[in-house]
Structure 1
Amino acid sequence: MTANQTPADVHVHPRHLKFELHDELATLWHGNDVFKTAFFNAMSLQFPDGEHLFIKSVRDFRDEINDPELLKNIKGFIGQEGIHSREHAKYNEALRQRGYDIDYMEKRFQKHMAFVGGLNRDRRLAGTCAAEHFTAVLAKALLEIPEAMDGVSPEMQALWKWHAIEEIEHKSVAFDVFVDRVGNHRMRTIIFFVVSYNFFKFTFLNTCSMLKTEGKLWDLKTWWGGMQFLWGRPGVIRKMMPHFLAYLKKDFHPWQEDNRQHIEAWKKTTADLSPDSVPHAHSA
């Protein structure tokens, strides 16, 4: 396994923001596109329970870490993920207003998460590393591919970009803990494929559930547009495939993709997170 390559100037700390998006989530908020809206909503449904497990996975090793900087970043990671979980729980609850069967979709995912939670701590941490890699690469796509957020309101952009920035900021925390305490490359790569399958499986199932509610599950035009968005042009997932697969390299480290510039640019854009600088967001 590779040594810690996290830049010394990366400091993970929680930002206590709240987003009021109830009205937005009553609409097809992603440019009035039913597939894009459902796809992003489908990812959100996985975040609250997923992030609680990520916190547990890292916390299980915290008392064995001696690196003071990593300990600080673990604390920040736990804080950030806790706030993400809270805001996406509110987000998911607001989705009920469109008639989505949120209880069914949440129970389906929670059954899977209960199984994952029963694994030994090394495997849970390996799964967290893989999931954090996925969210960091998706964050890169959101920030670097203009079409990923094309037509999205300022309010929804504020939430998704905040989440993306913090996923980039803390992308190496679980990985550095894994290297320090486990260091099993074979386990890391095998579990990457398992996590990849389940991430796409539940995103697909949730997307289908919401398209069914919208009366678009069997609409070929909807699916064609969605596949173009993900795999054709602009191909948000297609363009990110080399970055997803970089995780399989034996010498991989999340900060081999150095995108600190996004963090710094976002801080300037949001004026150091003044409550008035983020649309429909305020300090907790």
Structure 2
Amino acid sequence: MTISSTPEGVSVEPRHLRFDVSEDLKTLWHGNDAFRTAFFNALSLQFPDGEQQFINAVRLYRDRIEDPKLKAEIRGFIGQEALHSREHREYNDALKARGYDIDALDRRFRKHMEWVGKLPPSRQLAGTCGAEHYTAVLANAILRHPEWMEGASPTMARLWRWHAIEETEHKSVAFDVYRECVGNERLRRIVFLFVTWNFFKYTFLNTCSLLKTDGKLWSLRTWLGGINFLWGKPGVLRTCLPEFLAYFRKGFHPWQQDNRDLLERTLKELELAPPAR
């Protein structure tokens, strides 16, 4: 019996791309806007350790999966996340070279990730499903609303859209593993509450830390622009909120948001071929 729910036409395979963002990250690369730049940089700071934890959580159950399609997608998921972690580690190193205290921010988040890594496997996998939901919804929104990246340097825009493509491609892999090996709907929802708190907590703290280094932490104009970006127009978080909350629905599944057309269109725009199976 096939357990994988990844739809026809979607392939979960890593693309071995490299992005040299060292020069871009010496600037306010997102339209010379301090808040938008800090917000995306704050997200990046969570990816190297966070995505390694996603890999670890899925590996705990990999040997229990018999479906050949899902087994192959687990390999692809691990490959994609490993490359995301590598590229964002280099991204974060470039932020450090600019003068941000990235080591302190890494220590704070790594301490949390070390705690997560000591939880029972079922909770680790539930946490991975919840975090993957956030990345999938944000990925869909970045691809569907290219205006959100208007003013971004071409290299940075391409990096974020590449990451969004692959997060979309593998958005159901951890979920399918959880559904097959754990299947506890109550645990899935409860853990999502903790994931939600920590996702917004660390994104906010990291954004504040980066803005402080930029001398913009107490700038009313910076924060008004940031609040408008997140909750007004374009309203990044406001737009995503219904999809975030969809995770609590009975019978929820990531591919209920079927955005295969968006994937295909974006791959053509970026001139990236779907990875061969």
In structure 1, what is the equivalent of residue 140 of structure 2? 140
- 8 Å Cα contact 2:77-2:170 kept in structure 1: yes
Unaligned runs of 5+ in 2: none
- 8 Å Cα contact 1:140-1:164 kept in structure 2: yes
The Cα shift of 1:7 comes to: 1.2
Unaligned runs of 5+ in 1: 275-284
Matches within 5 A, 1:132-281: 132-273=132-273
Code of the residue aligned with 1:128 in structure 2: it is T
Distance across 2 between alignment mates of 1:146 and 1:223: 22
Q: Could you list the per-position Cα deviations for residues 190-230 of structure 1 after superposition, in whole angstroms to 9, with x for gaps in the alignment?
A: 01010011000000000000110011111111000000000
Code of the residue aligned with 1:38 in structure 2: it is A
Distance across 2 between alignment mates of 1:144 and 1:8: 21
The Cα shift of 1:265 comes to: 1.6
Instruction: Report the number of matched residues.
Output: 272
The Cα shift of 1:6 comes to: 2.8
Q: Which runs of 4+ in 1 moved over 6 A?
A: none
Q: Could you list the per-position Cα deviations for residues 90-112 of structure 1 after superposition, in whole angstroms to 9, with x for gaps in the alignment?
A: 00000013311000000000000
In structure 2, what is the equivalent of residue 93 of structure 1? 93
The Cα shift of 1:153 comes to: 1.4
Q: Could you list the per-position Cα deviations for residues 146-165 of structure 1 after superposition, in whole angstroms to 9, with x for gaps in the alignment?
A: 33101111111110000000
Q: What TM-score does the superposition give when structure 1 sets the normalisation length?
A: 0.93
The Cα shift of 1:4 comes to: 5.5
Q: What TM-score does the superposition give when structure 2 sets the normalisation length?
A: 0.95
Identical columns (%): 61
Asked if 1:81 corresponds to 2:98, the answer is: no
- Range moving further from structure 2, 252-261 or 3-12: 3-12
Matches within 5 A, 1:106-121: 106-121=106-121
Distance across 2 between alignment mates of 1:31 and 1:183: 44
Question: Could you say what secondary structure the match of 1:46 adopts?
Answer: helix
Q: Could you list the per-position Cα deviations for residues 147-184 of structure 1 after superposition, in whole angstroms to 9, with x for gaps in the alignment?
A: 31011111111100000000000000000000000000
- 8 Å Cα contact 1:60-1:121 kept in structure 2: yes
